[in-house]
Amino acid sequence: MRSLPLPLALTARLSPVAVLACAGWALASGPAAPPAAGHGTAQNTSAGTAGSADSSGSSAAAPSAASAAKTYSAAPAPCASLPSATLKSLVPGAKTAGQEIPSTDTTLRRTCSWNALHGYDYRWLDVSFEIGASDAEVRKEYEQRVAEKSGGGAVPGLGDGAYSVVNLTTEDKQQTREGVVLARVANALVVVTYSGSDFENKKAPATDEINKGAIKAAKSAVATLGGGRG
């Protein structure tokens, strides 16, 4: 088969990764970030006041409610979150080791990417783990992101709540179909992005193929988190 020059649409698809890396993953300072030092100080002060009548001072050693509710303290290794068989089926021709995207704080957020051009078929897969300060904070972040999406639906039986949506875009007559799955598990948020294009006929894979592929990857990622519950 003759070699295929890198299409303009593929070059454009690679751009978001560079932008996200340079931006330092701004989400680390967003709603899913740990509470600021001042917030923790206020909690400790409140606990101390409530227990001031206890001459033993034992209340000062009691953990805060936020700490008790935090199931996950760090993001797992994303490049090890999917079985090699799954990766080979979703991204044919890609190296199963994947490539982890640089993050300003790997405790809060880690992302791995796989992409390959197999003949004329292009596939891209991202798996991200984001760790919040509490279950309630991640639930709020999840609900905000779902509200920004349209045309998708719930994914039953995945984590504590999951949502998937698939969209089609066309640029320079080249179609690309992208599926996104959001899943929350306690104070962790899993984000899977799966997209594909055919650079020979300029068509995109079927909606069902992309949606099922994204959900399959999300299930493996959530299972990785399940093993880390405390």
Q: For the residues of the chain, what is the DSSP string, one character each?
A: ----PPPHHHHHHHHHHHHHHHHT-GGGGSTTSPPPHHHHHHHHHHHHHHTTT-TT-GGGGSPPHHHHH---SS---GGGSS-HHHHHHHSTT--TT-EEEP-S-TTTEEEEEEEEEETTEEEEEEEEEEE-SSHHHHHHHHHHHHHH--S-EE-TTSTTEEEEEEEEEEETTEEEEEEEEEEEETTEEEEEEEEEEETTT-----HHHHHHHHHHHHHHHHHHHHTT--
Digit-coded pLDDT (tens) for 26-85? 333 344 444 444 333 333 433 444 444 444 444 444 444 444 558 999 999 999 999 999
| Average pLDDT of span 136-149 | 95
| CA 171 from centre of chain | 26
**For residue 103, is it within any domain?**
yes
How many domains are there within the chain?
Answer: 1
User: Does the residue 36 lie in any domain?
Assistant: no
Tokens read off for 37: 């030092």
The residue-averaged pLDDT of 211-230 equals 86
pLDDT band at 221 (very low <50, low <70, confident <90, very high): very high
What pLDDT is attached to residue 79? 97
Which pLDDT value is given to residue 69? 56
Alpha-carbon distance of 103 to 108, in angstroms, equals: 9
User: Cβ contacts of residue 93 below 8 Å, gap of 6+?
Assistant: 116, 117, 118
pTM of the model: 0.71
The CA distance from 88 to 96, in Å, is 7
Side-chain-side CA neighbours of 18 within 13 Å: the count stands at 5
Give me the sheet containing 188-198, strands edge to edge: 99-101, 109-118, 121-131, 188-198, 174-185, 161-171, 153-154
User: Whole-number mean pLDDT of the chain?
Assistant: 79
Name the residue with higher pLDDT: 196 or 1. Answer: 196
**59 inside domain:** no
Q: Tell me whether residue 124 is in a domain.
A: yes
Residue numbers of the domain that contains 205? 24-30+72-226
Q: Are strands 121-131 and 153-154 parallel, antiparallel or unpaired?
A: unpaired
Q: Tell me if 173 is assigned to some domain.
A: yes
CB-CB neighbours of 9 under 10 Å: 19
pLDDT recorded at residue 150? 80
pLDDT band at 227 (very low <50, low <70, confident <90, very high): low
In a domain, 51, yes or no: no
Position 56 in a domain: no
- pLDDT tens for 79-138 read 999 999 999 999 999 999 999 999 999 999 999 999 999 999 999 999 999 999 999 999
Residue 108: CATH number of its domain: 3.40.1000
In a domain? residue 45: no
Rounded Cα distance, 191 and 149, in Å? 13
Of the pLDDT bands very low, low, confident and very high (cuts 50, 70, 90), residue 22 is: very low
